[in-house]
Amino acid sequence: MTNVTNEYEGYKLESIEILKKFGAKTWSKIKIENQMGISEGIILPRNKYAPDGMVEIKLKNGYNIGIPLDSTTKIEVISQEPKMEIKFDPITPAPNKNLPNLVLMGTGGTISSRLDYVTGGVIPAFQPAELFAAVPELADVCNLETEVVYQIFSENMKPKYWLDLAQSITKKVNNGVDGVIVAHGTDTLSHTASALSFLLKDLQTPVVCVGSQRSSDRPSSDAAMNLIHAASIAGKSDIAEVVVAMLGSSDHDYGFIHRGTRVRKMHSSARHAFRSIGTPPLGMIRESQISMFTTDYHKRPSPTVETYAAKKIEEKVGLIYAYPGMPHDLLDFFIDKNYKGLVIAGTGLGHIPYDLYPSLERAQEAKIPIVMTVQTLWGYTGMDVYENGREIQSYGVIPGQNMLPEVALTKLAWILGNYSNDQEIRTLISTNVAGEITKGEPINGYQIFQGVESHLVPEKHKTKSPKKKKK
Amino acid sequence: MNDLNYDELGLRIGIEIHQQLASQQKLFCHCPNQLQGTRAPDFEVLRKQRPVLGEEGKFDKGMLVEFLKKGSVVYEGYYDSTCTYELDETPPFSCNEECIDIVLEIAHLLHMNIVREMHVCRKNYVDGSVPGGFQRTMELGQNGHLLLKSGKEIGIENIFLEEDAARRSKTEGKTSYFRIDRLGIPLTEITTTPDIHDPYEAKEAAYRIGLLLRSTNKVKRVLGSTRQDINISIKHGERIEIKGVQKLDWIPALVDFECHRQLKLIEIKNILTKGSAKIAQLVNKPVDLTSLFQDTDCKFVKAGIKKGLKFTGMKIAGFKNIFGTEVFPNIRFGTEVAGKVKVLTGLKGLIHSDEDLVGKYQFSEAHIVETRKLLSIGEHDLFVLLLAKGQALETAIDVIIGRTKAAFKGVPEETRQAQEDGTHIFLRELGGEKRLYPDTDSPAIILSEERIERIKTVVGPYPWEVIDAYSKKHSIAPEIVEDLIMRGNLTLYDKLITILPDNPTLVIRTITDMVKVLHRDKKNTEQLKEHHFVVLITGVKNKEVAKEAMEPILEIWTRHPSLTLVKAKEQAGITSFDLSQLDDIVQGIIEKNLDLIKARGRGAMGPLMGDLMKAVGRGSIDGKILSSKLNQALAPHLPAKSVNKKKNKEKKDNKSPKSPKNGGKN
């Protein structure tokens, strides 16, 4: 996203040469003629990955089309139009004493971005006035201050950013806000939620991480609903944990409140992509009504205590996914590059191919803690069940129990950044700190409905309708 | 009302034809391009849609209007034939190539310039008919033309390829239900330039485009697969878009209605601008009259107040007699305003002082005098009364002010909905180009020179050329060929006529009339495929099937399409018959009935035929052969003169089938 005015934004050499010849540039209103006929429209900036030799125009009827530029092209510039930009009427509601004071920390992502209606590009800004203009209902739920912490796609988050974010949140919380909303891209929303769960200690207020799967430029966006849900949870709930609030179903109806260490994005695009794994969500919200499914969560402390953020984080931690035929080089790489810790998403109960065992031994010698998790996501490691599991353990690999692989990664980053004693590190990894390891998996912690259940009821169990007797 | 001189009016009509394509799959996902009819849906999903900020950072006008009507939307879908794409849960798959080729073919037929790089755009819809809130659409061609029967050439402005919206299945309170089987079905939209100056010409142009589309055999033909909108304007008027023109026959009435309406609205504008009324005097200053009217004799107002509604009055300065002015017989300006209020707020309507307040509503004179006083109604002012509360009331007031202000400009640009009686009502503000945004989910689609040229080679002749050629070659009425094209039966006809080259009449009767009869009898004629007709006509040719047996056999196939001809004949109760025995049987019947023949002479033919058909089995031999045999055998037993009727009868048999009605109406 560059602010430099580029007269040929996105166009390549061949196109620029022809446009220049006729004095045309982006936002010129032109009449263009070639073998295919005559068209009239305004030159738009072009996607920089699109092929050369075309000019993209917005026709009077609103459609965009691309027209070839070649030696036969004739262009007549009619006028130079102003750059089409989104302007909006900012709304700054007066503070309402009866509403909770919340802070919204923006990190980027779909929820804090909007479509550039002209070029189709994504605009990452989301200022409070703009937010209120788009979601005026927020003003009924809270007083909101916003802070743009990052403007990045969430795949570009880094452990260091998690730490910065935790520290910013701590400041706000200790300054007396009633709750925190973290607006985040959904790709790694759960990574950040779990990292914050470890990095923040003695939290006084809810920290609600929220994203959207459909950008707010679409009428069907989930952004407004998720934001309103997040604001209600941050302002009203008694939860003093890091949670994720996202739609619970494909319906624009209720949202789920997920624990930051048990949640995972399970669909690349659906609104209800976020699911609690191995345990039901903590609660739900429907039309600002919060219902908790459990009492087993941290409540807002009374009297308030000071919230702390961890001082450091270890960035040299890795996560690898086991697969058949996996070479040992992959593991060796982390050892050779002096990584401080590693998570393996193992097959089944927590296995990796035999070929990697010598490398495990090397890691053990190098005192690199390795946490084994399961790529099945549901269920626990069971590394005593088979002989190979026991052998893997003999090289010092720590069973991660039912910690999700990404959660084990953020936990390792936190532990290795703040603890140095080997034994302490091993103990912490195996101990539940923020709900990341549960004592057991309730039977409804693993449920995947696919709409075929009604066919699965055995015939004999189906209620028989009384037979009509014909006379 | 035929007092309109279209030329003097400066009438300009443009038409938009929306036609579903008959591709295998939908436009942006791999779901079948198939409606599920009345089949119950497998699941429902609830959604709430919001307007989004437009280019000006303001809510788009058209979308805002829809949002004012806000409610929830429920989408009904099927596990086996809809996917997460239709529900806006998965980004689009790549655009269906078959659909692009079909539209390219149509574009060639219309002599269009082909767009070399199509950009998928979003057209926003917040009426709920698209789960994503926008339709994906792209422009494929521009600047074409079409030759009308009269020899006039009209311009074809654009051709688009886009997705159809979901179909509304029901509305319950503020919840709209949409079935998503129709969503994503590929459509082509063809728009003409507004250089049609007469409604009959508009009708012909629409029909001709329809015929052209169907002649490709690549578009759907079922009811609802073609829809048209018309754009109308006159001198000093504005463009009005009329949606939902279900029948081409509606066009003249709709156009005439609009001409009258625009003329009157222009007249009202002239009265307003010349009179004492001022736009600035139209202000939002409602007065609460609830307590004044709580004991009124007007029953519905009294009941409404009791239910907690407010009775609100507002002054419309300078509008006396304007609301009462008819823009069309029985449709007053007040009706226009009320109609808009109704659509946008759900209120039943409004009361205004150009109406007979005492007679029609039973308001007391005292109340009216007091109302005039409270609203400070002057000599030229009008007042409006509304029974409503909350958001609906506020919106209604805004709408009334907006509409009365617009009266100073004459005709406001609107999208209107066609009604069966030839009128049309307000539907929404004209959205237009403001509703179009680039689709960030789809890459641009390049149409290569090779592809454009390749499609050119498959483009068939024009249907009017085909009609001409066929009617000459096969000596059949042009209307019949046209009907074959409209119904998509021309290819089948081509195939069958090679089997039975001497009898086009029978071939046509088989594939049109017989199928129509079966369809009317609620038989599943969808089951009848090309091979059935080929087998049947071959059977006729080889004299294995009598003409009388054709329909019964087809009927069997509608129920048991996999049966062979022999089995179908059996099922239809048609037995095979050895022709060599025929003479003996005829002779036997005559001998048995000599008394009858003596008594009734030629009149015995009927009963004898009955006996004969029974004896050989109905439909196993052509009735004509039977009657001729019987005639021959009967002749020696009759007085000589009565034999020549036969000739007449044959003549009658060879009469060409009636031209079907101008079928395939959209």
Question: What is the per-residue pLDDT for A18?
Answer: 95
User: In sequence order, what E strands does A294-407 have?
Assistant: 308-309, 317-321, 341-346, 370-374, 398-399
Amino acid letter, residue A368: I
Contact across the interface for B446 and A56, Cβ inside 8 Å? no
Question: What is the per-residue pLDDT for B581?
Answer: 76
Residue A164 in this model has a pLDDT that exceeds 70: yes
Residue in this structure with the two tokens 């969500």, named with its chain if needed: A281
Q: How many CB atoms lie within 10 A of CB B360?
A: 10
Residue A355 annotated to the active site = no
Residue A353 in this model has a pLDDT that exceeds 90: yes
Taking contacts as CB-CB distances below 8 angstroms, the residues of chain A near B133 are: 218-221
Amino acid letter, residue B226: T
For B57, which of A38, A88, A224 is closest by C-beta distance? Answer: A88
Of A100-114, A354-368, B182-196, B530-544, which gets the smallest average pLDDT? A100-114
Distance of residue A191 Cα from the nearest chain B Cα, in angstroms = 22
What is the SS3 assignment for B341? helix
Q: Which residue of A has its CA nearest to B43?
A: A451
Regarding predicted confidence, which is higher, B36 or B646?
B36
Residue A265 annotated to the active site = yes
pLDDT band at A118 (very low <50, low <70, confident <90, very high): low
Average pLDDT, chain B: 88
Question: What is the per-residue pLDDT for A126?
Answer: 61
- A220 and B132 in contact (C-beta within 8 Å)? yes
pLDDT band at B406 (very low <50, low <70, confident <90, very high): very high
pLDDT in tens, B161-175: 999 999 999 988 888
pLDDT in tens, A446-463: 876 666 766 766 666 555
pLDDT band at B619 (very low <50, low <70, confident <90, very high): low
User: In sequence order, what E strands does A113-226 have?
Assistant: 114-115, 122-123, 143-148, 179-183, 200-201, 207-210
Q: What is the mean pLDDT of residues B88-92?
A: 96
pLDDT in tens, B108-134: 999 999 999 999 999 888 788 999 989
Cis peptide before A303 (omega within 30 of 0): yes
User: Which candidate, A94, A89, A110, places its Cα nearest to that of A226?
Assistant: A110
User: Which candidate, A274, A394, A302, A403, places its Cα nearest to that of A344?
Assistant: A403
Question: What is the per-residue pLDDT for A3?
Answer: 38
Tokens standing for residue B458? 């498959």
Question: What is the per-residue pLDDT for B663?
Answer: 39
Of A350-354, B21-25, B202-206, B387-391, which gets the smallest average pLDDT? B387-391
pLDDT band at A470 (very low <50, low <70, confident <90, very high): very low
For A218, phi and psi rounded to 5 degrees? -100, 140
Taking contacts as CB-CB distances below 8 angstroms, the residues of chain A near B63 are: 219
> Could you report the predicted ipTM of this complex, rounded to two decimals?
0.90
Taking contacts as CB-CB distances below 8 angstroms, the residues of chain A near B438 are: 64, 117-120
Q: How many CB atoms lie within 10 A of CB A56?
A: 25
For B53, which of A134, A252, A451 is closest by C-beta distance? Answer: A134
Contact across the interface for B133 and A217, Cβ inside 8 Å? no
Residue A312 annotated to the active site = no
What is the SS3 assignment for B476? coil
Q: What is the mean pLDDT of residues A33-53?
A: 90
Residue B53 in this model has a pLDDT that exceeds 70: no
Residue B55 in this model has a pLDDT that exceeds 60: no
Q: In whole angstroms, give the CA distance from residue B95 to residue B85.
A: 13
User: Which candidate, B115, B127, B142, places its Cα nearest to that of B177?
Assistant: B127
Q: How many CB atoms lie within 10 A of CB B271?
A: 16
CA angle B54, B55, B58 (to 5 degrees): 45
pLDDT in tens, B262-304: 999 999 999 999 887 888 888 888 999 999 999 999 999 999 9
Q: In whole angstroms, give the CA distance from residue A245 to residue A224.
A: 12
**Dihedral sign, Cα of residue B540, residue B544, residue B548, residue B553:** negative
Question: What is the per-residue pLDDT for B430?
Answer: 73
Question: What is the per-residue pLDDT for B387?
Answer: 94
For B90, which of A62, A224, A269 is closest by C-beta distance? Answer: A269
pLDDT band at B545 (very low <50, low <70, confident <90, very high): confident
Q: Which residue of B has its CA nearest to A49?
A: B443
Q: What is the mean pLDDT of residues B526-538?
A: 93
Residue A129 in this model has a pLDDT that exceeds 90: no
Regarding predicted confidence, which is higher, A469 or B587?
B587
Contact across the interface for B440 and A50, Cβ inside 8 Å? no
pLDDT in tens, A415-425: 999 999 999 99
- A286 and A258 in contact (C-beta within 8 Å)? no
Question: What is the per-residue pLDDT for B635?
Answer: 83
Residue B60 in this model has a pLDDT that exceeds 60: no
Tokens standing for residue B584? 């003996």
pLDDT in tens, A72-92: 999 999 999 988 766 666 667
Of A14-23, A147-156, B15-24, B502-511, which gets the smallest average pLDDT? A147-156
Question: What is the per-residue pLDDT for A458?
Answer: 65
Sequence-distant (≥ 6) Cβ neighbours of residue A187 within 8 angstroms: A109, A153, A154, A155, A265
Taking contacts as CB-CB distances below 8 angstroms, the residues of chain A near B114 are: 36
What is the SS3 assignment for A40? strand
DSSP-derived pairing of the beta strands A242-247 and A254-259: antiparallel
What is the SS3 assignment for A130? helix
User: Which candidate, B392, B579, B441, B512, places its Cα nearest to that of B163?
Assistant: B441
Q: In whole angstroms, give the CA distance from residue B553 to residue B567.
A: 9
pLDDT in tens, A214-247: 887 788 889 889 999 999 999 999 999 999 999 9
pLDDT band at B665 (very low <50, low <70, confident <90, very high): very low
pLDDT band at B652 (very low <50, low <70, confident <90, very high): very low
Residue B122 is inside which H or E element, if any?
strand B121-124
The percentage of residues in chain A with a pLDDT greater than 70, rounded to a whole number, is: 89
DSSP, residue by residue, B402-459:
HHHHHHTTSSPPEEEEE-TTS-EEEEEE--GGGGEEE-TTS--EE--HHHHHHHHHH-
Contact across the interface for A86 and B55, Cβ inside 8 Å? yes
User: Which candidate, B216, B81, B222, places its Cα nearest to that of B525?
Assistant: B222
Taking contacts as CB-CB distances below 8 angstroms, the residues of chain A near B436 are: 61-63
**Candidate list A58, A236, A265, A411, residue with the active-site label:** A265
pTM of this prediction exceeds 0.90: no
pLDDT band at B623 (very low <50, low <70, confident <90, very high): confident
| DSSP character at residue A104 | E
